[in-house]
Structure 1
Amino acid sequence: MYTLNRPSAATPPPSCTGNCGRAKGRCGPSAHAAAGFCSGKAMSESMEATDRLNGHSENAASPPVAALVPDRVARWAAERPWQPAVVSDSETVTYGELIERATSLAGRMRKAGVGRDIPVALWLERSVDLVSASLAAMVAGGAYLILDTDQPHARLSALLEDSRAPVLVTSRDVPEGLARHDVAVIDVRNASAHSSACAKNPLPELSDLCYVNYTSGSSGGPKGVAIQHDGLANLVTWYESTYRVAPGDHMTQLARPSFDAYALEVWPCLASGATLHLGDATLNGSPIALQKWLADHRITICFLPTPLAEELLELSWPAGTTLRALLTGGDRLHRHPQGNLPFHLYNNYGPTEVTVVGTWCEVEPELASGDAAPPIGRPLPHMWAHILDAERQPVPQGEAGELYIGGVGVARGYLGRPDLTADQFFDDPSQPGERMYRTGDLVRERPDGQMDFLGRADEQIALHGFRIEPGEVEAALRRHPGVRDAVVVLADGGASPELVGYVVSDGSGEAADLEDVADFVTQSLPHYMVPATLRSIEMLPLTPRGKVDRRELERRQASPAPSGIGTRTEQEADAPRTTTEKLLARLWSEVLGVDTVRRQDSFFDLGGDSLLATRLARKAAGHGLHLGAADVFDHEQLHELARSLE
């Protein structure tokens, strides 16, 4: 059985160097010392702005020593072993059973070489096994790394190599393209046959890594964000206090497990003795079905990605709804809730590099707000915000500036990449010994001290809750033998924003086969990073300074795209013929914001997604068509969908 850890002061990991540390006193100065930031009067103004933005006296103080997440879960297993911990469609596991599974699996991980600051790769579907394996990685003293089971094997192999994870935990046979001679495979299907005691686990420290989450990288490859136990403990403590989480609460795990929101959904729940419900992935494509699922499971607290949360805000909620707090994040929130909803809405903002949530606020009802868009609020306790200009000096209240976030939630850095870490993480001049992260987001301080989100300060793209570095997508496109150069921009003029890729051929005289290029990049990129549309271009437009003119390419999105990924050529595709095809084409145009829809067009190639499929189903119902969102996935081409309805 896992032994409860007594809280102890943070100590530096053996591999800690000056440009990777964060906790007070554990590392030397980083590559960016305070010199060159605020000084003199500017420093005083920065500290005043920090106090005003944060609004909590505890934000400026060193955080209290907190119990680690695995300790808190183990405590509930000792006090209430019979309490349901995790519920899925196929099984219910109590706290006693969960800690027993995690302890046994942690023993196997330790034997395979897992220890302090060592990542453990988890290639598992959303399941009780995934929850117990991620807990086991922390119990073993390591850090969990969740691999997306839907991503191409080539990308997963690259993540394994980059992370140097010595162990891969799975419940499936490992294909040849993913197998590595230096990675031990632990199959959870054989757990009972290889159970192992783990009584002498090394006790993790607050400064140790607890999980690694990969995000898109501007240098052409993904980068692993290294999160420590103290940041996760602070997140959990804030969450439990703010939303009054306790045994008897029922919470959800609906986000993609490889998304950093997984930590926000799982650990505050299990560290507080509540019950976690694992939702099927199809629920994210049907707000009505999700609402029913929330009611059937008597969910009290739920996190949803912003677009899906906005869909649920439009629904009518029956009396007796148990949901009392709906948290959202991952994208810009565009609207306030109606005043008659039975639950409170909370907006969360935070890059992966600040342990999921950096700032938060309760969103006022639309009648009381008077705002065009909700704010992103103020920082969590023991974290703080700076709004700085291009010279990293504080901007006056009400003016736009780039947001820097400091405090206990700031990640250690990028795994094995001190160069990238030095580019984004800096010493905090207003908090000696602490560090801050440059978010790349533009914000403005409101008169009440909260912040408004204004957009990006760099080329990073926020799309459907994912942060995408165009450079990584462009690098994948350039690896195609028929492509000499490529640029990716965001087209957001229609009903749903989408990535558009411009490719320059290799100079052989023939234009690159766009469908072949599309197939090529899907082998190495996750689905949300694959451009929805590819266009051939003879030469990329340049600015007077000789740089690629991305704004010019974005302006070109106002003109119709000649071809989308996976669509047929214009000669092969023809206009809708039957009455049903013509009706569907008109509905697609309204939902997708496109001028022309042809018989062979794919709903998803034109920019559709699960939420837009749900909107299409609603519109179709108004015209007497019995159409569900799942039908669009089964028959994504217009003529196929029409035939299925006739």
Structure 2
Amino acid sequence: MPGVAARFDEVCAEFADHLAVIDSTGEESYAALGERSARLATVLQGKGLQPGERCAIMVPRSRDTLALILAILRVGAVYVPLDPAYPRAQLDFIVADCAPRLIIAEGSALASVGDLNGVLVDLADIAAASEAADPAPLHASHRDDPAYIMYTSGSTGKPKGVIVPQRAILRLVHGQTFTALSPQTRFLNLAPLAFDASTLEIWGPLLNGGCAAIIDEVQPSLDTIAADIARLGATSAWLTAGLFNALADHRLEAFGPLEEVLTGGDVLSPVHVRKVMDAHPSLQIINGYGPTENTTFSCCYRIPRDGETLANGGAIPIGDAIAGTSVHIVDDKLVPVGEGEVGELVVGGDGVALGYLNRPELTAQKFVDDVFSPGATLYRTGDLVRRRADGAIDFLGRNDRQIKIAGKRIELDEIEHALRAAPGVADAAVAAFEGPTGKAIAAFVKADADADASAVLQDGIRAHLKSALPDYMMPAALRVLPDFPLTPNGKIDRKALLAGLDTAADTSAAAQPVDGEIAGKLASVFEGLLGHAVDRHSNFFDLGLRSLDLMRAHAIILRDVSAKVALVDLFRHPNVEALAAHLRATFDTASDGSIRRCRDANSGAIAVVGMSGRFPGAQNVAEFWANILAARDCITHFDATELEDTFDESLRRDASYVKARPVLADVDRFDAGFFGVLAREAALTDPQQRLFLEIAWEAFEDAGYDPATIAGAVGVFAGTSMNTYFLKHVLSDRGVIDEFTSQFQIGEYQKLVGAGDFVATRTAYKLGLRGPAISMQTACSTSLTAISMAVENLRAGRCDMALAGGVSVTFPQKRGYFYQEGGMGAPDGVCRPFDADAKGTVFGCGAGVVLLKRLDDAIADEDPIYAVIRGVGINNDGSDKVGFTAPSVDAQARAIAIAHAEAGIDPASVGYIEAHGTATPLGDPIEFTGLVQA
């Protein structure tokens, strides 16, 4: 197998005129890029670079950089990417550890590496010198020769260099099927060179005849990323899970031009994946997993659109091994675990690195003999996984002290080492926790006996860490404690440390109250990201924010504060006061008082943790959603022979009789035995009550609960339509009616219970629920009123969980209605809400229920969370309207304003509204006007 540079030469010969690379400065064909890299190789040889030697590079993404990397490999040397964002101490260590023959830098990076060991070379100088140079011949590299060394976090306090061979790059991008890599691929280059995602971004297109599409801005904003994806014509991109989520939340249109998106580096959010898939139906999303030690990817999972995982909100698997890779799930003795059991993931194949530079003991510990393929090597990932029944692998976490943040692996012990070296620190402990913006790091220190604790916190530690660690490793929370809690065996109890973590106290100075000025608005943005008050004079990174968090903050500031702020401003003015001063000096920032501080994220917030439903043409929520996405018409239009009404033929043939109605399937079917209901009881019970009982059970199942084992109180709040089943099928003749009414309330209990509006109490009884059970009827708003009642009872502590919803099934189902000009019914059996052609509505059937919990409890119990209810507005419109069935503009606006105020949100921040559009000429304009007024 040829080396990487040889493979590139083969691609050049085949695709000489194809576009190889494009950035903001221009574009280059394969022939031009190949020739330029060969001339650069000559210059590098003249500088003394020899095969096998290392060349450190501190250069930004650009066409010149790709030519430089190709030139290094063409010489047979090894490139070592350096990130200029690393602190000086870390750069010093890396350079000393890898002992490069050359250090190549560009622009401002030249000054930061000016006195590092090695020969410093300006990229601009060698690029200029290469114009007159002859092309260098290709050095014949072996497949096992190193291609690059990439440094990752190390548990001993120092980064470790992963030696990646040429074969590993070729295995990642050649002959693969996990992603589309072809001459038609335009792969976005966005990752820093010192992050191993760059391996795929560079070599994926260049070794397959495709094009590397480079975003060459060092720290691009979400706006820039979205615009450049379109400008560069990118078809594929790799995004960390955090960046993927940020784009989904703030720049959803960014995904439009793409055909495939690979994401990973952390556990994916099914909510964000579903959001992107729904907005872009042709986009393929791929979950990629793999450590640097196995060259970017070991496993991939092409997320299906119709899979149960997204429909149910479950964890997205990492899939299975990509080509050229073997994966095994083993115990600590490397013996395969049983089917479905949890074990450590070990990986083999051509992607396995050669080990760690200058770390023989660690290499021997992590790179072991392949017991499944003698003569080969396995890498022990330390990741705990389990294989599912369908063959895909679920990622379950780590078996050590390593975490991932922003796609980068971090050894928590490295941070502890750095803390212990800080002035005034006697001991340190570090742990990871889930913060408002994702996984975050908490640091705890004990001060020396003669050190002032507050001075240690405010002056020493943060400054020391900034000089020793990159920003993505900075703790989000930092505490000085007199002593550490210990476990029974005398070790630091990190769980107890986290249990006592009070993020609201993580400020080194008193947090100022939010005011109406620009600083107050900015503070509100950062408080929303961090979940606690901020010191307006503290550096953003000292507060625990990372680069990705600043990208999120920038998007929010653009939307809510000022449309004239650049992402770079957040780095140049890295605290609230400094940024506010910059904006005040540059722009007119007069406050109109329209932006209010959000409430505490969990104050009165209610989580939707389960849901279920039946709808026309859909037996569950997933099918209902699929019908919406496919724009299916779920209204049934009947033949005259199908109708079950009692009209005679002449009326059915009347031109005004509309033979259309949405119906529910299988409402006559009920598993009475499952719910302990006798056959006679079931026959007398309103199908609406039977149906609600079924979906109530399914909502518990959806949330992962068995109602029989729930210890706390569970409320039920629900309503039904009029019980027409009772009228049509139970009160079958005058004699039955007379008997029922004569014995009403004293006899005929089965008919009474089955007929009465007891949907809430009957559900509570059958499922053994002991909270409030209230049936209600408020016409068209019944289900939402049920939810508002559930929210009120949860907030008041009257129950710990609540079912809320409604059901409407009226009989006969297969019936039509008479259209009247100006009436409520549509003339053609089609409902067109908020449409210029709207002429009326169509009444139908359906059932839905949600399972609710207080958000604090849902998070603590690790429940699935579909949505969060923060505000409810409920009122009545009185008599100030044209008629009893007509809505009122002012009353609708008041209800909406009440919900806004209770939620503590700015109405301008609302991005989606679901409205009660009836498609009637009277109702829709009033509804719309009420929304506008609110």
Structure 2 length normalisation: TM-score? 0.57
1:14-25 mapped onto 2 (5 Å cutoff): none
1:436 corresponds to which of 378, 401, 417: 378
| Ranges in structure 2 where 5+ consecutive residues have no aligned partner | 584-588, 591-934
In the alignment, structure 1 residue 271 sits paired with structure 2 residue 207: yes
1:483-508 Cα shifts (integer Å, max 9, x gaps): 23222222324334322222222332
Q: Which moved more, 1:375-384 or 1:396-405?
A: 396-405
1:315 positional shift: 7.0
In the alignment, structure 1 residue 351 sits paired with structure 2 residue 316: no
What SS does structure 1 have at the residue aligned with 2:84? Answer: coil
Letter in 2 for 1:545: N
Q: 1:405 maps to which residue?
A: 347
Q: 2:159 maps to which residue?
A: 222
Compared with structure 1, are the counterparts of its residues 527 and 621 closer, same or farther at alpha carbon in structure 2 (3 Å cutoff)?
Answer: closer
2:461 corresponds to which of 500, 507, 517: 517
Q: 1:529 maps to which residue?
A: 473
In the alignment, structure 1 residue 365 sits paired with structure 2 residue 305: yes
Q: 2:431 maps to which residue?
A: 489
Work out the CA distance in 1 between the residues paired with 2:134 and 2:350: 33
In the alignment, structure 1 residue 418 sits paired with structure 2 residue 360: yes
1:600 positional shift: 3.9
Say if 2:317 and 2:393, in contact at 8 Å, map to a contact too. yes
1:260 positional shift: 0.7
1:183-582 mapped onto 2 (5 Å cutoff): 183=119, 185=121, 187-193=123-129, 196-197=133-134, 199-239=136-176, 241-281=177-217, 284-286=220-222, 288-313=223-248, 321-335=256-270, 336-337=273-274, 338-339=277-278, 341=280, 342-365=282-305, 368-369=308-309, 370-371=311-312, 372-511=314-453, 513-514=456-457, 515-558=459-502, 560-563=504-507, 568-570=508-510, 573-578=511-516, 582=520
1:138-163 Cα shifts (integer Å, max 9, x gaps): 11112111111222233212111101
Compared with structure 1, are the counterparts of its residues 399 and 636 closer, same or farther at alpha carbon in structure 2 (3 Å cutoff)?
Answer: same
What SS does structure 2 have at the residue aligned with 1:557? Answer: coil
Q: 1:21 maps to which residue?
A: none
Work out the CA distance in 2 between the residues paired with 1:187 and 1:254: 20
Letter in 2 for 1:516: G
Compared with structure 1, are the counterparts of its residues 203 and 441 closer, same or farther at alpha carbon in structure 2 (3 Å cutoff)?
Answer: same
Work out the CA distance in 1 between the residues paired with 2:491 and 2:7: 52
Work out the CA distance in 2 between the residues paired with 1:235 and 1:180: 33
In the alignment, structure 1 residue 74 sits paired with structure 2 residue 74: no
1:259 positional shift: 0.4
Work out the CA distance in 1 between the residues paired with 2:417 and 2:174: 40
What SS does structure 1 have at the residue aligned with 2:32? Answer: helix
What SS does structure 1 have at the residue aligned with 2:468? Answer: coil
Say if 2:22 and 2:232, in contact at 8 Å, map to a contact too. no
Work out the CA distance in 2 between the residues paired with 1:248 and 1:301: 10
Work out the CA distance in 1 between the residues paired with 2:536 and 2:180: 53
Q: 1:22 maps to which residue?
A: none
1:418 positional shift: 0.9
1:358 positional shift: 0.5
Compared with structure 1, are the counterparts of its residues 368 and 296 closer, same or farther at alpha carbon in structure 2 (3 Å cutoff)?
Answer: farther
1:29-68 mapped onto 2 (5 Å cutoff): 67-68=2-3
1:274-307 Cα shifts (integer Å, max 9, x gaps): 1111114467531x44233212222111111111
Work out the CA distance in 1 between the residues paired with 2:137 and 2:564: 57
Work out the CA distance in 1 between the residues paired with 2:307 and 2:249: 15
What SS does structure 1 have at the residue aligned with 2:467? Answer: coil
Work out the CA distance in 2 between the residues paired with 1:641 and 1:196: 48
What SS does structure 2 have at the residue aligned with 1:161? Answer: helix
What SS does structure 2 have at the residue aligned with 1:513? Answer: helix
1:186 positional shift: 5.9
Work out the CA distance in 2 between the residues paired with 1:283 and 1:519: 23
Q: Which moved more, 1:372-381 or 1:357-366?
A: 357-366
Q: 1:57 maps to which residue?
A: none
Q: 1:593 maps to which residue?
A: 531
Work out the CA distance in 1 between the residues paired with 2:537 and 2:291: 39
Letter in 2 for 1:85: A
Work out the CA distance in 2 between the residues paired with 1:407 and 1:633: 42
Structure 1 length normalisation: TM-score? 0.81
Alignment length (residue pairs): 572
Say if 2:441 and 2:474, in contact at 8 Å, map to a contact too. yes
Q: 2:91 maps to which residue?
A: 156
Say if 2:475 and 2:544, in contact at 8 Å, map to a contact too. no
In the alignment, structure 1 residue 121 sits paired with structure 2 residue 56: yes
1:409 positional shift: 0.7
Letter in 2 for 1:358: S
Say if 1:125 and 1:149, in contact at 8 Å, map to a contact too. no
1:528-578 Cα shifts (integer Å, max 9, x gaps): 122233322223333222222222222222453343xxxx523xx432343
What SS does structure 2 have at the residue aligned with 1:402? Answer: strand
1:311 positional shift: 3.4
Work out the CA distance in 1 between the residues paired with 2:430 and 2:575: 25
Compared with structure 1, are the counterparts of its residues 320 and 407 closer, same or farther at alpha carbon in structure 2 (3 Å cutoff)?
Answer: closer
1:87-106 mapped onto 2 (5 Å cutoff): 87-106=22-41
Say if 1:116 and 1:208, in contact at 8 Å, map to a contact too. no
Q: 1:32 maps to which residue?
A: none
Question: Cα RMSD between the aligned structures?
Answer: 2.9
What SS does structure 1 have at the residue aligned with 2:326? Answer: strand
1:583 positional shift: 5.1
Say if 1:592 and 1:612, in contact at 8 Å, map to a contact too. no
Identity of aligned residues (%): 33
What SS does structure 1 have at the residue aligned with 2:293? Answer: helix
1:119 positional shift: 2.0
What SS does structure 2 have at the residue aligned with 1:560? Answer: helix
Work out the CA distance in 2 between the residues paired with 1:303 and 1:236: 14
1:588 positional shift: 3.8
1:391 positional shift: 3.7
Say if 1:120 and 1:168, in contact at 8 Å, map to a contact too. yes
1:349 positional shift: 0.3
1:231-286 Cα shifts (integer Å, max 9, x gaps): 111111144x5434333432210011110111110001111111111114467531
Work out the CA distance in 2 between the residues paired with 1:481 and 1:642: 33
Say if 2:515 and 2:521, in contact at 8 Å, map to a contact too. no
1:134 corresponds to which of 69, 72, 77: 69
Q: 2:100 maps to which residue?
A: 165
Say if 1:238 and 1:380, in contact at 8 Å, map to a contact too. no
Work out the CA distance in 2 between the residues paired with 1:319 and 1:468: 29
1:312 positional shift: 3.5
- Does 1 or 2 have the higher relative contact order (CA < 8 Å, sep 6+)? 1
Compared with structure 1, are the counterparts of its residues 463 and 108 closer, same or farther at alpha carbon in structure 2 (3 Å cutoff)?
Answer: same
1:332 positional shift: 1.4
Say if 1:103 and 1:136, in contact at 8 Å, map to a contact too. yes
Compared with structure 1, are the counterparts of its residues 99 and 179 closer, same or farther at alpha carbon in structure 2 (3 Å cutoff)?
Answer: farther
The structure whose residues are more often helix, as a share, is: 2
Work out the CA distance in 2 between the residues paired with 1:145 and 1:365: 40
